[in-house]
Amino acid sequence: MKNILLLFFLVITNNNLYSQFVISKSASDRMEGKLKKEILDKASLRCWYEFIQYCSNEGIKEQVVDTFTLDIGLKCSMYYDQNRIMRDSADRVEGERLRPRVKLIRQHMTKAEIDALREQGGGSYQELLSRGETAVLYKDRKKQKIIIIDGTITEMYKCIDEVPPQSWELREDTMTILGYVSQKAETVFRGRSYVAWFAPDIPLQDGPWKLYGLPGLILQVVVDDGLFVFKAIGIQQLESFPIAMNKDQYVTTDRKQIRKLAFKKNNKRRFLGVDGIFSMSFEADKRIFDELEQE
Partner 1 sequence: MKLCFLLYSLFLVSSLSSQTILNGNITDKKTGQAVEAATVSLYALRSNRIIAYTQSGENGEYRILFNGKQDSLTLAVTGFNLKKVVKDIANKSQTIDFVVGDEMISIKEVIVVAPKINEVGDTLNYNVERFTDETDRTLKDVLGKMPGIQVLENGMILYMNKPINRFYIEDMDLLKDRYGIATNNINPNDIATVQVLQKHQPVKALKDYETSSDAAINLKLKKSSKGVVLATAQLGAGISPLLLSNELVGMYFSKKMQDMVVYKGDNSGRDILGELNSLYNPEPKVRDLDILAVLKPRQPAVSLQRYLFNDAHIGTVNHLLALKNRYVLSTNIYYAYDEPKRESNAETDYYLPGDSSLKICEQNVSKLYQNRMGANIELSANTDDFFLKNRVKMEGRWDKENGRVFTGDSIRQHLDNPVYGISNQFEWVTTNERNMFKVASFAGYKDMTQTLDIYPVLYDALLPPATSLMAWMRQKARMKDFTTTNSLTYGRKGKVTQNYSLDFNAHVQHLQTDLLLMDRGIEVTGGDSLANDLKREHYEWKLHVSHSLALGDNVNVHLFCPIRYLLVREQHTSHYLFVDPFLVFEQRLSAYLSSSLNYSFTQEVSGIENAYTGNVMTSYRNLLRNDGERDRYKIHNLWWILGYKSPFSSLFGSFTTFYTHTRARLLSEYLYEGILARKSTLQYPNNTQSLFSSLMLGKDLETIKSSFSLNADYNYNRSLQILQRVISSYKSHSLSVGGKLHTKISRKIILDYKIRGSWNKSLFQETELPVNPVWLLSQQLLFNWLPVEKWMLGVSCEHFYNDAIRSGSRNMWFADLNLSYTLKNTEIRLDCTNLFNTRHYISTVFNETGRYYTEYGLRPGEVLLRVRFKFL
Contact in structure between 196 and 210 (CB atoms under 8 Å)? no
**Least distance (Å) from partner 1 to the CB of residue 146?**
17
Q: Which of 23, 123, 161, 190 binds partner 1 (CB under 8 A)?
A: 123
Q: Which of 16, 19, 20, 63 binds partner 1 (CB under 8 A)?
A: 63
Whichever of 29 and 66 has its CB closer to partner 1, that residue is: 66
- Letters for 207-226 (x = contact with partner 1 by CB under 8 A, - = none) are -------xxx----------
Q: Rounded to 5, what percent of the chain is helix, strand, coil?
A: 20, 50, 30
Whichever of 38 and 283 has its CB closer to partner 1, that residue is: 283
Residues 134-153, interacting with partner 1 (CB under 8 A) = 141-142
**Cα 247 from Cα 48, distance rounded (Å):** 26
Whichever of 57 and 294 has its CB closer to partner 1, that residue is: 57
**Least distance (Å) from partner 1 to the CB of residue 55?**
10
For residue 227, state whether it binds partner 1 (rule: CB under 8 A). no
**Cα 285 from Cα 27, distance rounded (Å):** 26
The residues pairing with 290 across neighbouring beta strands, listed in sequence order, are none
**Least distance (Å) from partner 1 to the CB of residue 19?**
25
For residue 116, state whether it binds partner 1 (rule: CB under 8 A). no
124-129 and 156-162 strand pairing: unpaired
Contact in structure between 173 and 183 (CB atoms under 8 Å)? yes
For residue 121, state whether it binds partner 1 (rule: CB under 8 A). yes
Whichever of 226 and 234 has its CB closer to partner 1, that residue is: 234
Single-letter amino acid, residue 261:
L
Whichever of 41 and 248 has its CB closer to partner 1, that residue is: 41
**Cα 183 from Cα 195, distance rounded (Å):** 10
For residue 93, state whether it binds partner 1 (rule: CB under 8 A). no
Contact in structure between 194 and 211 (CB atoms under 8 Å)? yes
Q: Which of 23, 136, 153, 178 binds partner 1 (CB under 8 A)?
A: 178
**Cα 276 from Cα 121, distance rounded (Å):** 11
Q: Using the rule CB under 8 A, give the single segment among 28-36, 98-106, 147-155, 171-179 that binds partner 1.
A: 171-179
For residue 172, state whether it binds partner 1 (rule: CB under 8 A). yes
Contact in structure between 147 and 159 (CB atoms under 8 Å)? yes
Q: Which of 22, 33, 203, 225 binds partner 1 (CB under 8 A)?
A: 203
First to last CA, the chain: 44
Contact partners, residue 167, CB within 8 Å, separation at least 6: 187
Contact in structure between 185 and 169 (CB atoms under 8 Å)? yes
**Least distance (Å) from partner 1 to the CB of residue 141?**
8
Go through 266-288 and write b for each residue having 16 or more CB atoms within 10 A of its CB, e for each that does not.
Answer: bbebebbbbeebbbbebeebebe
Applying CB under 8 A, the residues found at the interface with partner 1 are 44-45, 48, 57-63, 65, 67, 74-75, 111, 115, 118, 121-123, 125, 129, 141-142, 170, 172, 174, 178-181, 183, 200, 202-205, 214-216, 232-237
